[in-house]
Amino acid sequence: MMSNQDDHSSPVVIELSGVEKSFGSQSVLRGVNLQVREGRTLVIVGASGQGKSVIIKHMLGLVRPDRGSVKVFGRNINRLNRKEKDEVRQNFGVLFQNAALFDSLNVYDNVALPLRERTRRSEDEVREGVMAKLGLMGLQEAIDKYPAQLSGGMRKRVGLARALMLQPKIVFFDEPTTGLDAHKSNELYRLFYRTQQQLGYTAVIVSHDVPKIFKLADEVALLAEGRIQGCMSPEDFQLSEQPTIRAFVEETMGHLYSSDREESNFYAQV
């Protein structure tokens, strides 16, 4: 989206170095190195169960790495005390995989929660802020509904409204379009694009939605076998000669042919 910018001009806001993590005997991350640059959109792709969400949880400081470090704005998030961690997290907005809405609160209260708990605004100001965000997401009709009464797409939009409530600097999206049809995912992507233009946040997206998600990405990183196999622009990613990346691209987007002969050979084999 902003690929006209120089890749290395903007400062690094999140940096994972040598992050290793096992759950029980299962080793998930085996030395992840990854950088997120300010104002840009990083998309992490990879097969299911490779630990993409685990990477996001490390960035959020919800999971502690067994080895390696996670630095957010230059501070090692696992060495911070609770107050300092909260200071860092004030800059975060998160859209969880299943939206993680508070199911005993209605849509309005869900979106209002960050304002009520984190700021000292009056109820009128809260209302103003909430209605503006819900308007942006096209959710004015749903304010009295509870999460259980919403469709998957609406839930994600409420989640996005809540994540963006306090003008975050970094927004994390964990599988934002899983379970949505093509139309609904396009709608969510449009909202993402529009809000990012408006608020200029850095985005980290974990997604399965290849190749569509490439249109939003400034950089694409492939996670496989517990490591980042490469992090590059979507154009480079799709043409990469790196075997793991090439295998992933072919698996998700179909076979790539470097020549007509190769193509006819492929069909001859089928």
Site membership for other proteins, residue 178 (CB under 8 A):
no
Q: Which is nearest to 227 in space by CA: 30, 16, 11? A: 30
Site membership for other proteins, residue 102 (CB under 8 A):
yes
Site membership for other proteins, residue 257 (CB under 8 A):
no
Q: How far apart are CA 245 and CA 222, in angstroms?
A: 7
Q: Please give the structure tokens belonging to residue 196.
A: 């990012």
**Range list of H helices, the chain:** 52-60, 82-89, 107-118, 123-136, 152-163, 182-199, 234-239, 243-253, 260-269
Check residue 178 and report its DSSP letter: T
Q: Please give the structure tokens belonging to residue 161.
A: 């409204």
Give CA angle at 218 (76, 188), nearest 5°.
95
Q: How far apart are CA 78 and CA 87, in angstroms?
A: 13
Choices 37-45, 84-92, 214-222, 232-240; region in contact with other proteins by CB under 8 A: 84-92
- Of 101, 137, 160, 210, the residue at the interface with other proteins (CB under 8 A) is 101
Binding letters toward other proteins, positions 110-129, x by CB under 8 A:
---xx--xx-x---------
Cα-Cα-Cα-Cα dihedral sign, residues 62, 67, 70, 76: positive
Smallest gap from residue 53 Cβ to other proteins (A): 10
Site membership for other proteins, residue 103 (CB under 8 A):
yes
Choices 92-100, 121-129, 182-190, 201-209; region in contact with other proteins by CB under 8 A: 92-100
Smallest gap from residue 100 Cβ to other proteins (A): 4
Choices 15-23, 96-104, 148-156, 253-261; region in contact with other proteins by CB under 8 A: 96-104
Site membership for other proteins, residue 82 (CB under 8 A):
yes
Residues that bind other proteins (CB under 8 A): 57, 60, 62, 82, 86-87, 89-90, 92, 94, 96-98, 100-104, 113-114, 117-118, 120, 162, 166, 172
